[in-house]
Amino acid sequence: MPSHGAAVGRHAYMTLRVMKACHTSARVLALSLAFLLFCSRPAWAEDPLYLQEPFDQITLTEEGGGGVIQVRLLDLPDRRVPATPPAGEKLNVRLLDQPDKLFELEWRSVEKIELFEVIVLKKANELLAQGQLEEAYRYFRFLFAKFPKLAGRAERCITSLVVSNHDA
């Protein structure tokens, strides 16, 4: 029959094994979290617009549910938003985060549409105004390559900035 001392010794041994396992698990968890934090990028460090998946942005009216949605690039003639939407027609969209589903929006539910190339152009202009010329250049280079019809507008933005800086 085992002695009381042997039972206490076995209990102490088992307790130490459990503590060691918990310590190892805690260490693995801590290392895993450290790895995730190291590898994940903070929200403020997201890719520049020109490296992201292209999207158009639709602002919905209050009647249409309100808010802003990002959709895959809209199939619009010459990538121009119609000044007066066709009566009775609907706008077919695919949400950026649900590209396999086709949704129909009534034009009266749409308050504003911002095309991706215009969003990129606005960002390029912001960067120019902030003096971040190298990053602005990357945006303009992207626009010239991917949206040549917008190139004239981008050139006018650059020219006006150069002229205003020269006069200052």
Query: pLDDT for 115-134, tens place per residue?
Result: 999 999 999 999 999 999 99
What Cα–Cα distance (Å) separates residue 44 from each residue in 41, 48, 131?
8, 11, 19
User: What class, spelled out in words, does domain 49-114 have in CATH?
Assistant: mainly beta
Residue 37, CA distances (Å) to 23, 81, 105, 113 in order: 21, 42, 39, 36
Q: Classify residue 79 by burial, with Cβ atoms within 10 Å: 0-12, 13-18, 19+.
A: middle
Please give the full DSSP string across 37-87, using - where no structure is assigned: HHHSPPGGGPPPGGGSPP-EEEEEPTTTT-SEEEESPP--GGG---SSPPT
Q: Using pLDDT thresholds of 50, 70 and 90, give the confidence band for residue 22.
A: very low
Calpha distance 80→84 (Å, rounded): 11
Amino acid identity for residue 162 in this structure: V
Mean pLDDT of the chain: 77
* Sign of the C-alpha dihedral computed for residues 77, 82, 88 and 93 taken in this order: positive
Do the bridges between strand 110-114 and strand 98-106 make them parallel or antiparallel, or are there none, so unpaired? unpaired
Identify the DSSP state of 127. Answer: H
pLDDT digits (tens, 9 = 90+) for 32-90: 433 334 444 444 458 999 999 999 999 999 998 999 999 999 999 989 999 988 878 89
Radius of gyration of the chain (CA): 29
Chain length of the chain? 168
